[in-house]
Structure 1
């Protein structure tokens, strides 16, 4: 049984991934503002814990307390994301601040806080985006979002370099269009070619096994963008 920390697991890919991890017998700690819908049996047995946590205004002491209750952390899935679809000329400093806080700075804060609790071969997986990769197709309105995901891409590679001499593995998943609530809110009426449940099957496998095959890599996981 592995102990896995997930951010933003109240809906979308995060929620579907938590369901699969619990079915496989793993222990999951979720950090999100909203409480995800999880079968009561997993809560009773202690395999699932939800910590109400606002990634936009993180309480690091609360985060430290939550991690200290775990014997060790085997996997971190930095899944939480925030997307603003707005013309560049209308974006303000607060828009950029909110997007970068949730998409980038929260990863820094979570990983830094978790360092002393990581198991020797911990796998940290950060969610990037196809739009955050060099040379990929970009879209109007996504300047803040895509640039933040570009930062996640470089941060992930830098973290692997920083901890290259440890047993830790840092990888990134650059998602294309996945049918989630966030996508529907940003692109009303658009239908992605893959569902959150389908993507969660791949993510679950990658969280548990990806470090055996990849190290410091950003994997494009996309059928379309968006």
Structure 2
């Protein structure tokens, strides 16, 4: 049984991740702004509470929970994300900032809070996007989102270097199109070849075993573009 912390569990891939980890006998702390979808499932060994990755009080609540309950975290999956889909000239400074607060600054703060509970064999897995890959196809309207996902990739590489002696390992998956609510918001009407459940299964398997083979790596997990 692994102790797993997952963000962005109210819908999409994160929601499916919490279910799959539970089904496979692992202990999960599921975090999202809306904990109700997971809480209502009454999943075995899953704790869910409302969490805002941009709020210091929420980060502190996670720290207190870990101290009193889990004691140790084997896997941290930074899956939560905020999307802005607007022409660059129409995006307000607040919208741009909020996107980065969730996708970059929040990821950094939560990771910093969880690291004291992780050992060398632990694995921090960040979820990014193909839009953050240098040289990949880019799409108008996603300047805030895709650039923030590029920042997550670089952050992952830097943390892997900084913690390469003590651990844990850090890797990042740059996802292509997956049939989720966020995909519909970014590309209305587009139908992806992969379901959220299929991608969640891949992510779970990689989080459990990928750090045996990779550290500081970005893997492009994309069967189609967008």
What displacement does 1:194 show?
0.9
Q: CA separation in 2, counterparts of 1:129 and 1:175?
A: 5
1:202: which partner in 2? 202
Which of 40, 43, 47 in structure 1 is aligned with 2:42?
40
1:220: which partner in 2? 220
Q: CA separation in 1, counterparts of 2:34 and 2:60?
A: 19
TM-score, normalised on structure 2? 0.94
Unpaired stretches in structure 2, ≥5 consecutive residues: none
Unpaired stretches in structure 1, ≥5 consecutive residues: none
Q: CA separation in 1, counterparts of 2:188 and 2:167?
A: 43
What displacement does 1:105 show?
0.8
Q: CA separation in 2, counterparts of 1:210 and 1:119?
A: 16
Q: How does 1:2-17 map to 2 (within 5 A)?
A: 2-17=2-17
1:83: which partner in 2? 83
Q: CA separation in 2, counterparts of 1:145 and 1:179?
A: 18
How large is the RMSD of aligned CA atoms in angstroms?
1.2
Q: Name the CA shift for 1:41/1:30 in 2 (closer, same or farther; >3 Å).
A: closer
> Runs of 4+ in structure 1 displaced over 3 angstroms?
none
Q: CA separation in 1, counterparts of 2:43 and 2:186?
A: 35
Q: CA separation in 1, counterparts of 2:38 and 2:176?
A: 25
1:137: which partner in 2? 137
What displacement does 1:41 show?
5.0
Q: CA separation in 2, counterparts of 1:141 and 1:211?
A: 34
What do residues 6-61 of structure 1 show as CA deviations (whole Å, max 9, x unaligned)?
0001110111111111111000001111123353251xxxx110121012334232
Q: CA separation in 2, counterparts of 1:198 and 1:147?
A: 26
Q: CA separation in 1, counterparts of 2:158 and 2:138?
A: 24
Q: CA separation in 2, counterparts of 1:9 and 1:41?
A: 13
What displacement does 1:139 show?
0.5
Query: How many correspondences in the alignment?
Result: 222
